[in-house]
Every structure is written in structure tokens, then in C-alpha cells.
Chain A
């Protein structure tokens, strides 16, 4: 769900930058992730070839999404699954809550799903008075702290171990005795074990929906997904419609790239394929198996030229490698999805008018596309949002005036040169010891950064001088 953010982007960023531990916390997790991904890619000499194949597989599915959705629906229904369709986040939540209510569910376990966050499912379950137990360790931390995920793979990476230790001491029945991370993990294990057993419904997301068998693939490292989906009487999957793949063989290629890009492992510890409810003779497994297929803006992305974004596997590599994300963290983005992929998706989900700052919070250095396992042209898509924002008149007046002025100059080179020649001479008057630390009208810049003192002459002036000097010396005709 969008967080109708109360603060402006600027305020959120300032808050993030002022947090003394946030940057340390972000670096601790993302630097390890970057290192492990790099090692995994280096160990696979033909990684680029596989990446290209993965891109082709996703593009093929997106091109034929209607075909694969219908095939998946047919095969899932044949396996005994009940397939539901939701055009919006609200519809998806209503369907899910209604299944829980029909089952008179008191308690629901959830394994981490970004789609669940996107559609606001945690909130919808809370509103319906259903006890919600987040079982992914990071989501458990986020739930105890009453805050929001700040990364799509490590939702609690904004919390230091000391903060987590305090949370567990305050909330767990038998908290850890010592504050080493292993003891904290053990405390969460003790705390959640009974909750898994008590739940009436388990809700998971999906990493892949496999069309030719109607199976749902979910990957985790903790094993919480399997306890969530096997123990309760009902299992509900909420999945975005872009998660389709033609077959298990295609899935294998995408799995390799997803996991290496996310954590650097070859495979997650647990990769599970669900196909229908409990069978005759099964000693465990859910009696009802529901799949909620959610659009929520995805068909709109096809229409708006954002089809490439539907390739996204949700690995998180783009944010781990983003110089902006690493400074401000996930919360500052204000949406469900942070980082580069979030800056592309959030305007789709929450509207460009409210989120136009996000596509601007990008240096266009291209790191995100480089590490993307399906080669999504994130910088290009972000530029597309900037252009749209300009066309729709969403850019502030000051930006429009300044750009208009620049455009005028660019079309009148003579005036432009006179302007810059005056500007460097004026600017030099503000410099002290080679740096400009404050300037009228540019407080926004000089508050955090200094300008280097400009050279005495503009580039064009210097070029002219050199040329005339060379002519005098006869080195140039």
C-alpha cells in the first residue's frame, strides 16, 4: 500500500540523513550483499549470456501474459486450487480477508511477500480484527517495532542489532539472555513456533507462477514459508500477474539469476513448489489452497510503456548498488518499493503527482541496470518519468523558469557565452580559499556542498586565447 506520506520527500531525506545509525545499518547489510553477488557473478563466466536468456523469457511471458494467465488458471484449478482475480489492491485485500472470515480464522501467519505489502494486506487483516503474525524474521522485527519494511529482501536492515535486542526483550516471552545475533534468532524461533501451530490461515506470496502445471514457487532461507503454508488449514497465495513463467525448465534459469543477484547463493535454502491442496493420504498440508492473482497497475504499466519493469524478479540488487539508496535508506522513498525499482514503480502505484521527486532522486550512474538480472533499463525508465512530469506540468515553477532560461541560452550561443563570461567573474568574487561556501539563491546546494572557485575565464575564452597564441607562433595555420 502506498503510504500517503505525511512528510515531503525532502523532509524524509533530511530525517534519514540526520539518523546517526541508519547509514551504518544500511552499509552493514548491503556491502555484504554486494560482495556476495560479485563473487557469484565472477564464478559464472557466462553470467551475461544467462542474463540475456532470462530477459528473453520474461519478455516472452509479458508479450503473451493473457495466454499464460489463462493456462495457469486452468492447470491450477485442475490441481484443486481456487483461483481469484483482483484488478486493484483493494479487491485483492477484500478477497483475502473474505476467505479468512469464511473460515472463521482468528489467527493468520504470513511469510514475507512484497505484493502483500504493496496491496496493504497487513493493514487490511488488522482492520478485520484478525491476528496477524509475521513469520519472516525481518518482518517480525518490523511488526514488533510498528514500522515499515525498508528493503525488499532485508526489510529490517534499518535496525541495528542493539535495537532488535531491545525489541525482543520488550516483546518476547522468553527473550535472549545475551545480545549476540544467534541468541536473538533463537528467541524469535521460540516465540514464533507456537504461533505457526496456532494459525488458521497461512498467507504467502509467489516468486513464480508456473503456467504448465499451475504450481506456485516460493523461495525462502528461513523455512518460515513452509511452516506458514503447511501447518494451517488454509493457504492463500497473493501474487502479481507478472510472476508467470511457461514451465519449470524456464523457472530454473530465473531462479539462478534471482538468488545470485539477491544473496549471492546458488539457490535459497528452501525453494518450494505448491500445487493444489492436501491430497488423499497426505499427513500434512492445507485443505484449501487459494491463489489471488493481482493486477494493481500492472496492465496499466503495459499501456504506459513500462512493460520492461514487469520483468522485475524483486531481487533487490538495484537498491544494494544504488548510491542514493545507500545514503537515505528505504523509508525515505515513501512507497512499498524503495531504490531504483521503487522509484519506477511508486509513481505507477501512487501517482506521479505525489511521487515526482523519486525519479529525480537518481544520479543516472547506471549501476542499477548493470546489476539487474533481467537488464531492466531503470535509468531510461526514470528519465521517462522525468519527461512525463515535465510534460504534465508537475515540475515546480522555479525549475521551469530556470530550464526555460537555459533553453533560451542554448538556442542563442552568443548571448550564452556573454552570460557565462559574466557569471564566472561574478562567482569568483564569492570564493574564499578556492571555494564558494555560500551564494545568494543557492542555499539548497551550498547548505551541504561547496562550489569550487571557477577558472578566471570560460572554456570558450580560453580556447580563443590559445588559438590566437598558436597563430602568432605559427604552429597552426
Chain B
């Protein structure tokens, strides 16, 4: 008998020899999801973008943020970051049509992401407020390495694409075929492998800077920004 049949056979033998009924297994699996709130912490009331931003800058995630009105302001925000960090580097821009369309004339644009890249500018597909997570789907316009090779990872995210909970993302994609890679990114690369001390920039980026695009809701931005810094 091959290993596959042996493994399946042993599992079934232990349960009385029969395969389970797929319909009742599916029903049981679905029942486990009937109360999503029992499997997650409640996030604060308010606009997801504000909660997302607060999570990003919390010590747990340790990213920095910039908030701008429209996509056309992205190059300016990138310039602001480079100046603040004293970086005089070329930048590699993810081949996302929305990013490539912007006016990058004052930058030294690199044709692709190299192993020693200093600055990479990418665009996340979704944001998740609950954890301050950026979601990327790999594809021709979104190579995976953009998120892992540069030392400074700058990410553009549209405020309207910020979801509340991890499950909201799962529900959104459940009917489509997944891409080769889905990357959830929650902060810069870090390690606590030497004496439990946190050091950033282990193998991936040392800095994560998130540029949130789109008008925020004044009501939820008002004084609530840092409520959730844990």
C-alpha cells in the first residue's frame, strides 16, 4: 500500500472504517463560524482607517504613517519620508499601474527591485484595522520581493480599502481563486532570537512607512487616533 492510502486508511480505521459524510462535515465546519465575534477581539468603534492607523503606530507594530488626500500626492509623501530619513537613494516602484501613472520625475527610479535595494514603494490591496495589517496579492503588477528586499518599505494604501477584521478579508476572497502568494504584512521585519531582544531589519525591511490615501472621517479621527496603542 502506498503512504497516502495507508495514512487515510489508518485515520478511517480509527473511526470505525468509514469515510465521513461530506455534507455533514461541511455543515459542522460552517457552524463553527456561526458566531465570528466569539473568535476575535472587538475593535474600537469608529472608522476602520483610524483604527488601522492607530495600530500601525502602536509599539507592537512600530510602523510610521503619513496621511494624504489623493494618490497624486504620493510622490510628495515619498519625498517627505526620504528627506526626513536623510535618504538620497534611488527608489524602486512596484509595477502597479496606479503607482506608475504618478509623476516620479524628481526621483531616481530603479528599473527593478535588487537584493540591496534601499527604498521600495509598493501598494497594498487591502488593509486590516484589527491588526494594522497590509495585504498584498502576488501578480505581474505586484512581485512578492518588493515587500521583502528593500531596507525601507513604503506602502500606499487607500483608506476605502481598509477592512475591520481578518475575517472580512477572508469573506471577500472566499469565492475567487487565490493568487500564488498572499502576504499579510504587520510591521517591519524583526527578530527576538538573541536573548529575546527585539531588533528590526532581520532579513526583510527595517522600516515600514505607510501612506494612507483618502479623506478620513473627521468624527472618528478626532482625538481617537492613539486610543489603541497597546
Contact = CB atoms under 8 A, between A and B. Distances in A.
Contacts of A278: 180
Interface stretch (B101-109, B186-194, B213-221): B186-194
Interface of B: 2-4, 6-8, 10-12, 14-15, 19-20, 22, 25, 28-29, 32-33, 36, 38-42, 55, 60, 95, 112, 115-116, 130-133, 138-140, 143-145, 147-149, 165-167, 170-171, 173-174, 177-197, 199, 201-205, 230
Given A156-B193, A266-B131, A299 B10 contact: yes
Contacts of B188: 269
Query: Which of A196, A223, A274, A303 has the most chain B CB atoms inside 10 A of its CB?
Result: A223
A47 B201 CA distance: 31
Given A141-B193, A265-B60, A279-B179, A67 B19 contact: yes
Contacts of A49: 38-39
19 contacts: A44-B41, A64-B25, A67-B19, A135-B203, A137-B202, A141-B194, A156-B194, A161-B195, A226-B144, A227-B145, A246-B32, A263-B192, A266-B55, A266-B186, A267-B131, A271-B184, A272-B184, A279-B139, A283-B140
Contacts of A299: 7, 10-11, 14
A25 interface: yes
A255 B105 CA distance: 42
Contact of B195 (A29, A45, A50): A29
Given A43-B230, A85-B3, A253 B40 contact: yes
Nearest to A246: B29
Contacts of B55: 266
Given A222-B204, A267-B133, A46 B189 contact: no
Interface string A208-244: 0000010100000111101100110000000001000
A50 B11 contact: no
Contacts of B149: 227
A282 B201 contact: no
Given A66-B12, A265-B60, A227 B39 contact: no
A281 B139 contact: yes
B20 to A, nearest CB: 5
Name the 5 nearest CB pairs between A and B, nearest first: A223-B204, A281-B140, A29-B196, A253-B39, A222-B202
A249 B33 contact: yes
Given A193-B203, A269-B187, 16 more contacts: A45-B41, A46-B38, A50-B38, A85-B4, A189-B201, A221-B190, A226-B204, A230-B145, A249-B171, A250-B29, A253-B39, A256-B39, A256-B40, A267-B186, A273-B181, A279-B180
Contact of A57 (B32, B138, B190): B32
A65 B193 CA distance: 34
A215 B179 CA distance: 10
A303 B14 CA distance: 6
Contacts of B173: 248
